[in-house]
């Protein structure tokens, strides 16, 4: 029996056996990828405040379909009270065919201090890649949808009523690989309704530090045409995060 194990060990270590597994072998790319990023800030001394933002994205992409989910969270507080608390969920299913894809999408927002504390949008439609090569991608989408809004309570309107309407949603999703380890992404989305219109721009710059770790700078601005009394039409969020990618 010892001779059997010795012979097996010699066979496994032989050049013929090693040739079966090349030194530069890599696992085939997975259809499932995910990203987790977070940023935290703590100020002490004359100014005492804490802020946190996190983002998780999961994508399942095959030849026939693409499933994508995104979760975002924002929180900020000073030494007296919470000043910001917002959560977002985005879900999209796309079914590919010859020259484009059909999609169904859901966007849900809970914003304690926003002009609208609850926003839910369900939409669907058609999308296609206007540009698709190794360094640049531009996807365009259009389709109808339905939006529900709940305005924030004010001194003059303690119990505001929700409103809902049919909308037309259009979106442009741009991705540019600047260098081997850097990329720029920009998403522009508009929602046009009879009672209200919104325009959202989401831009981020990502620089890979090593392996699956990256530093990411993000800027999000949303314009809402009709807002409750005392609210601002434009909201902006700037983030500086560390990002880890699972593949």
Q: Which domains, ranges and CATH numbers included, belong to the chain?
A: 30-246 (2.40.230.20)
pLDDT, residue 54, reads 96
**Does residue 141 surpass a pLDDT of 50?**
yes
Q: What are the helix (H) ranges across the chain?
A: 2-12, 15-19
**Does residue 207 surpass a pLDDT of 60?**
yes
CB atoms within 10 A of CB 65: 14
Q: Which of 17-21, 188-192, 238-242 has the highest mean pLDDT?
A: 188-192
**Does residue 229 surpass a pLDDT of 50?**
yes
**Does residue 10 surpass a pLDDT of 60?**
no
Three-state SS at 114: coil
Tell the residue number behind the tokens 């909308």, with chain if given.
167
The CA distance from 13 to 10, in Å, is 5
pLDDT, residue 148, reads 97
Percentage of the chain lying above the pLDDT 70 cut:
86
**Does residue 65 surpass a pLDDT of 70?**
yes
pLDDT, residue 47, reads 61
* pLDDT tens digit sequence for 45-54: 656 789 999 9
CB atoms within 10 A of CB 101: 20
Judged by average pLDDT, the poorest of 33-47, 75-89, 182-196 is 33-47
Considering the chain, what is the average pLDDT of its residues?
A: 87
pLDDT, residue 11, reads 43
pLDDT, residue 27, reads 53
* pLDDT tens digit sequence for 145-178: 999 999 998 877 788 899 999 999 999 999 999 9
CB atoms within 10 A of CB 51: 17
Percentage of the chain lying above the pLDDT 90 cut:
69
**Does residue 7 surpass a pLDDT of 70?**
no
Give the mean model confidence (pLDDT) for residues 12-16: 48
* pLDDT tens digit sequence for 103-116: 999 999 999 999 99
| CB contact at 8 A, 75 and 54 | no
**Does residue 234 surpass a pLDDT of 80?**
yes
């Amino acid at each position: 029996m010892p001779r059997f194990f010795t012979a097996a060990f010699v066979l496994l270590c032989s050049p013929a056996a090693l040739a079966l597994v090349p030194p530069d072998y890599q696992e085939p790319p997975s259809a499932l990828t995910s990203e987790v990023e977070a940023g935290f800030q703590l100020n002490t001394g004359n100014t005492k405040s804490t802020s946190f933002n996190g983002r998780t994205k999961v994508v399942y992409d095959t030849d026939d379909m693409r499933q994508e989910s995104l979760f975002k969270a924002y929180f900020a507080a000073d030494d007296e009270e919470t000043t910001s608390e917002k959560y977002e969920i985005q879900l999209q299913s796309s079914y590919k065919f010859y020259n484009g894809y059909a999609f169904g999408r859901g966007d849900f927002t809970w914003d304690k201090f926003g002009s609208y504390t609850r926003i839910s949008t369900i939409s669907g439609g058609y999308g296609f890649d206007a540009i698709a090569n190794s360094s640049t991608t531009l996807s365009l989408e259009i389709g109808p949808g339905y939006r529900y809004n709940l305005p924030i309570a004010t001194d003059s309107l303690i119990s505001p009523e929700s409103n809902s309407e049919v909308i037309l949603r259009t979106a442009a999703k741009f991705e540019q690989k600047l260098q081997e380890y850097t990329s720029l992404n920009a998403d522009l989305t508009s929602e046009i309704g009879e009672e209200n219109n919104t325009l959202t721009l989401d831009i981020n710059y990502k620089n890979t530090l090593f392996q699956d770790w990256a530093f990411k700078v993000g800027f999000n601005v949303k314009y809402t045409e009709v807002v409750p009394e005392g609210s601002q039409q434009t909201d902006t969020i700037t983030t500086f995060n560390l990002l880890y990618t699972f593949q």
